[in-house]
Structures are given as structure tokens and as C-alpha cells.
Amino acid sequence: MPDETLFILNRPSTDAPAHDPDGAPFALADVALPHLSVMDLAATRGDGVFETLSVFGGCPQAMDHHLARFARSAAMLELPAPDLDAYRAAILAAAAELDPAQEAFVKIVLSRGVEGSGVPTGWAYGELSPDHTAARTRGISVAVLDRGYRCDVSETSPWLLAGAKTLSYAINKASMREAARRGADDVVYLSSDGILLEGPTSTLIFKRGNRLITPDPALGILDGTTQANLFRFAERQGMTTTFGRSPLEALRKADAAWLVSSVRLVAPIRELDGETFPVDSELTAAMNGYLLDLRE
């Protein structure tokens, strides 16, 4: 089986024309060949949205949640609404091409297409995942960075697209480079008025006693798919779960904390701004085990 695979959607949105009126909904493509026009707004402007789904045992995880978030991001950018049935089928086709015995992921993309064409571009790309064992077990060091926006930015300035998962990742990448300069592996964003947000590619969860806490998506951050699964797990274990607006001091006083995401899963924070941070190894292992066993 291949290590990677690519399916190009013929009509990513039923609100827009197909690339080929007589073509199939999507087609397997050679990953080694070029497929995207240099004039596509995905390349020239980052004008598009994406989602990345983990695949365990050949089964894409949290597909309904990812597709709903995909559609919501597209609406925020005023893109043509994605054809979720076509994307669902393409995700399943991509997952089926990859080795079911290994961890993998499928990334789906919708761009506005070539400027002025009115025809969006869409694809589903699948690949075997890198080995994240060290991050899941040893943990990660994290730097806290000011995101530069108030926590109410989604209400005061919706044109900044806070909470949309867009292709414009230059700031996220710059944040990770800054973390590396500080000797850290990852980032937790803080609003300019001191409220905890998220990571560049992850959701923050922290623990106080028997409670798991995560920042409220109303703060202009992503509605975490992995976080949602972990909250279901925690509630089954008798823990309580909370969405909230928490200052940095609440994280510093936490019993444990994690950055969670679809592909890396649960990475415990072992160092925060250069200071040793407590790790709950037993709960971390249980969380990762739960996610790896999910088939939904």
C-alpha cells in the first residue's frame, strides 16, 4: 500500500460548476505530479480552508465534527459551500488507500480556485503519520505567546476570521519558529487581555483536581475535535469538564496540561516558559489509548 495518496474533487461545491461536467465526483491522482494552478488562490493568497482527520485502523476519526467545522470555516470566508457528501466519500477513499495497520491522516482542502473563474478547487490528501511517541510519552516544552488580539475579537472584528481553519498559516509557522528560538517545542497563545486561547495547531486542556478545562470556542478559537472526544472520555471516568475564560495564572496552577490535536493526539506539557510543569503520565496514557482505539 502507498505511503501517501491524493484524490482531486471534480465539483467541490454544488453551488459552483464542475471542472469536468462529465467527470466522476473525484479521481485518484499521482501525488508526484503537479495538479494546482500557480494562479489558484490557495497558492497566491492562502484563500481557502482545510481540515486534517486522523485515521486509525483505516477509520477516519470524528468525521462529522471535522466536516461541520470545514463547512463553518468555508462560510466564514464566504466560499462556495463544500459538498460534504463528496468530501466524505473522498476521505474514505483516501483512507482506504493507506495501510490500515499504521496511523495515518487525511487532509481535505477547499480553495476559491483560480481568481475570477468561479470554480473552486478541492482535494483530499492522505499520508501515513510520523511517529509521535516521544511527544505523547515524554511530553513537550511550551512557550506562551501573545496572539495580539483581545479575547472578544470574533465579536468585535469578524473580518479577522478568528476561529476559521484557513490555509493562511504564515503566522502559525512564525509562532513555531519563535518557540524554537526560545528552546520550546510548541506554543500556547494568550489574548492581548490575558486570556488563554489555543496552540497554533492544537487545543489546550488543563486539569485542576477532578476537572478538565479548555478555553471556550467563543473566544475566536477552533472548536476542538480531539478535545470533544477527550471530554466524552473524561466524563465516562467520572470527571467534570468545563469551557471557560481562564487567565494564564490558571494554567500555571494546573495539576497537568496537554496540547491535543488530531494527528499528534495528546501531548502533555512538561515545561512551560522554561519552568518544569507537572505531568500526569497515567491519565495521558489513558487518553491516548482511548483515542487510538476509537473507530468512529
* Structural domains in the chain plus CATH codes: 4-128 (3.30.470.10), 133-293 (3.20.10.10)
pLDDT of the chain along its 296 residues, tens only?
A: 899 999 999 999 999 999 999 999 999 999 999 999 999 999 999 999 999 999 999 999 999 999 999 999 999 999 999 999 999 999 999 999 999 999 999 999 999 999 999 999 999 999 999 999 999 999 999 999 999 999 999 999 999 999 999 999 999 999 999 999 999 999 999 999 999 999 999 999 999 999 999 999 999 999 999 999 999 999 999 999 999 999 999 999 999 999 999 999 999 999 999 999 999 999 999 999 999 998 77
Give the torsion sign (CA, 230, 221, 141, 261): positive
Quote the cell numbers at residue 198.
489555543
Place of cell 473563474: 117
CA 88, CA 60: separation in Å to the nearest integer? Answer: 10
Please, are residues 296 and 62 in contact by the beta-carbon 8 Å criterion? Answer: yes
Please tell me whether residue 279 adopts helix, strand or coil conformation: coil
